[in-house]
Amino acid sequence: MDFGIKFGTPEKQRGACAVVGIFESRKMTESAKVLDKITQGHIKNILTSGDIDGKVNTSLLLHNVPGTQFKRILLIGLGKEQEFNEKIFLAVINSTLNALHKTAVADVMLFLSDFPNKVRTNDWKISQTVIATISSIYRFDQLKSKPENNQSKLRKILFCIDTQEELIACEQAMQQSLAIAHGMNLTKDLGNLAPNICTPTYLATQAKDLAKTYKLKASILDEKDMEKLGMGSLLSVARGSEQPAKLIVLEYYGLGKKEHPIVLVGKGVTFDTGGISLKPAAEMDEMKFDMSGAGSVLGTMLAVAELRLPINLVAIIPATENMPSGNATKPGDVVTSMSGQTIEILNTDAEGRLILCDALTYAERYNPKIVIDIATLTGACVIALGNLTTGLMSNDDKLAQELLEAGEQAADRAWQLPLWDEYQDLLKSNFADIANIGGRTAGTITAACFLSRFTKKYRWAHLDIAGTAWKSGKDKGASGRPVPLLTQFLIAQSRASS
């Protein structure tokens, strides 16, 4: 898929298809008015006939419109002009793409002036459109013997802007969003793979391939290495599986190596049965997505490497399966983490925090500027925030605010939950330093409280993506989130440090 930017008014443009907006009550946008004028009222006549009323999610494709240099014109409903906002903009873009994919159109021109300026700047509109377009043509059919032959004919989108002054910002947004989209596609591919293929060893191989392509440094620690480091918590999760655990480390240096890096830690449970605390059978297949934190870290690393951001970035991925067996960890077992803290395992299905805590301790050796862990950690987060919003907790309010702002900018939102000391009491254990669960209440917060005990030496934030990493139902599949949020955050960090 190709994207480009032009400036000028509609009457001076040509191509296979132009997209113009129509507000409710059949009110034309400025580009529609221009095309209507040069077609001697043809568009107005179409609107008068009542074939499209301008409501959101409506469209009408016109062929052979007289007087224009476009083969087709797609009229797209924008809803009520006074109510047009970011949500409606994104809905309109998706409606536009859905309509275009049903045609043989190969290239199309979008007039950004059709969308009111109050929705944000043109560079933001371009960024969201690029990501939505790449997402709309994404297919995961690698595992099908006969992939479906329903590929879209769309190959190029041209964005038409009014002035040359905004060209640099728009071109930069286009390149950044392309990198984000590529990172999201990698994240989706890894999440959608069958768990008998996407094992810890497979993830390690993918990381090494990424390192080779983008000249990163890759280190893969096996179970013997982790035993020497004292990672008893991580290894306790791997005990029930025949697949060996891996600790995957990727290092990207866009600045001098003396600069403190940002560290991303991604939960990589490639399949989670719950262990001895076995999950219900219904929808257990979706537990192949429990490595989505790891997938999003690899996708973000790809985006950063493509953009060659001037930052130092380290990815740490603890990867394992969580399986029941005669050797599996039992409820009531006590293990010793790399930090030296002992953990009473009350529920083996609360395994994500057990592998993350050792990875967070391992992160200390990089003397990090910031550490962010990303994990499909708690069902409680889905209950609290649904499938729209990522849960955010942090030991640093400034860092939390920067992540929230990045999420708003990227349309990949997060919401901050409290991390007050009072919640720590829920993790008390009679037999160890800490229990791995805190009971039924405040499950998302107590999971973060657990992790916070291993992050006292640096600024840290935790993203719970249990509700946002994948979709269930007929559209089942990985979402690619929170690659946009993370990459936008790192772009902002690179600007601040330059």
Q: What is the mean pLDDT of the chain?
A: 96
Structure token digits, residue 305: 């490497």
The closest alpha carbon to 321, from 242, 436, 403, belongs to 242
130 lies in the same domain as 254: no
302 lies in the same domain as 218: yes
427 lies in the same domain as 459: yes
Q: What is the pLDDT of residue 13?
A: 80
Backbone dihedral region for residue 442 (phi beyond 0: left; psi -120 to 50: alpha; all else: beta): left
Confidence class for position 430, pLDDT limits 50, 70, 90 = very high
Residue 68 vs residue 175, higher pLDDT: 175
CA distance 111 to 20: 7
Tell whether the model's pLDDT for residue 260 goes beyond 80: yes
Mean pLDDT check: name the lowest of 123-132, 157-166, 291-300: 157-166
Domain membership flag for residue 42: yes
Q: What is the pLDDT of residue 289?
A: 98
Give 90's Cβ-side CA count (13 Å radius).
11
In this prediction, residues 477-490 reach a mean pLDDT of 98
291 lies in the same domain as 188: yes
**The CATH number of the domain where 455 resides is what?**
3.40.630.10
Q: Is 6 a catalytic residue?
A: no
Mean pLDDT check: name the lowest of 158-167, 406-415, 460-469: 158-167
252 lies in the same domain as 132: no
Confidence class for position 295, pLDDT limits 50, 70, 90 = very high
The one-character DSSP state at 259 is S
Q: What is the pLDDT of residue 202?
A: 98
Domain membership flag for residue 324: yes
Angstrom CA distances, 153 to 2, 74, 101, 110, stand at: 12, 16, 7, 17
Domain membership flag for residue 173: no
Q: What is the pLDDT of residue 119?
A: 79
pTM of the model: 0.97
121 lies in the same domain as 200: no
| Amino acid at site 483 | V
Cβ 119 vs Cβ 84: under 8 Å = yes
Q: What is the pLDDT of residue 67?
A: 87
Q: What is the pLDDT of residue 498?
A: 63
124 lies in the same domain as 213: no
298 lies in the same domain as 346: yes
Last residue of a domain, one of 117, 133, 163: 163
Question: Which residue is catalytic, options 267, 353, 413, 481?
Answer: 353
Domain membership flag for residue 311: yes
- Whole domain around residue 484: which residue ranges? 178-497
**The CATH number of the domain where 139 resides is what?**
3.40.220.10
Neighbours of 397 (CB within 10 A): 10
pLDDT tens digits, residue range 346-373?
Answer: 999 999 999 999 999 999 999 999 999 9
pLDDT tens digits, residue range 70-95?
Answer: 999 999 999 999 999 999 999 999 99
Cβ 20 vs Cβ 73: under 8 Å = yes
Cβ 319 vs Cβ 200: under 8 Å = yes
Domain membership flag for residue 229: yes
Residue 496 vs residue 466, higher pLDDT: 466
Tell whether the model's pLDDT for residue 257 goes beyond 70: yes
Q: What is the pLDDT of residue 457?
A: 98
3-class SS of residue 416 = strand
Tell whether the model's pLDDT for residue 176 goes beyond 70: yes
Cβ 245 vs Cβ 235: under 8 Å = yes
Residue 257 vs residue 186, higher pLDDT: 186
pLDDT tens digits, residue range 322-352?
Answer: 999 999 999 999 999 999 999 999 999 999 9
183 lies in the same domain as 144: no
Confidence class for position 15, pLDDT limits 50, 70, 90 = confident
259 lies in the same domain as 125: no
Tell whether the model's pLDDT for residue 477 goes beyond 90: yes
Structure token digits, residue 110: 């979008």
Q: What is the pLDDT of residue 187?
A: 98
Question: Which residue is catalytic, options 120, 279, 369, 471?
Answer: 279
158 lies in the same domain as 227: no
152 lies in the same domain as 62: yes
Last residue of a domain, one of 112, 128, 163: 163
Domain total in the chain: 2
Q: Is 279 a catalytic residue?
A: yes
pLDDT tens digits, residue range 102-149?
Answer: 999 999 999 999 998 787 999 999 999 999 999 999 999 999 998 877
Domain membership flag for residue 170: no
Q: What is the pLDDT of residue 407?
A: 98
The C-alpha angle with vertex 407 and arms to 406 and 408, in degrees rounded to 5, equals 90
Last residue of a domain, one of 163, 194, 227: 163
The residue ranges of DSSP E strands in 131-261, in sequence order, are 156-161, 217-221, 246-253
Structure token digits, residue 393: 């907790």
The one-character DSSP state at 39 is T
Domain membership flag for residue 26: yes
Domain membership flag for residue 172: no
Tell whether the model's pLDDT for residue 11 goes beyond 80: no
Beta bridge partners of 305: none
